[in-house]
Amino acid sequence: MKKGILLISICIIIALSSVALIIVFRDDNVFYISNPGDFITEKETAIKIGKALLEERFPDSFLNRELPLDAYEKDGIWRVHNVVERSGVTEDGLPWVSLGGELYVDFRKSDGKILGIGFTE
């Protein structure tokens, strides 16, 4: 009988401790996981997130066309940007060079925090 009471007491203590930890780490319905590792690990996921952010910020650039995007990660920061042809030849056979025109968004790999969004000229 005493073992049963002890087991029930331990279960109640564990349950109350779990609830207390949830309350402590809760902030406006956002729960934090201690040491979750990298949050955005895949290039494809970074591109999807970046596309959504860029499309919201620069809707005219996406209007009636598919804008090719690429992403790379450096030092824990994802950069998603549109692929800009840097040079080419016009229909008339004249060479041209692009000096900018890249849309980009930078965000942390670990938590997705946006660090910068803009347009390079």
Per-residue pLDDT, 26: 57
Name the residue with tokens 């890249």.
102
pLDDT at position 99 is 63
Q: What's the predicted TM-score (pTM) here?
A: 0.60
Distance CA 8, CA 66 (A): 60
The pLDDT value given to residue 49: 92
The residue ranges of every structural domain in the chain are 1-34, 37-120
CA 55 to chain centre: 14
Tens-digit pLDDT profile for the chain (121 aa)?
A: 666 676 676 767 776 666 555 655 555 555 555 556 678 889 999 999 999 999 898 888 788 778 889 999 999 999 999 876 667 777 888 876 766 678 899 999 988 899 999 888 6
> What pLDDT is stored for residue 53 in this prediction?
92
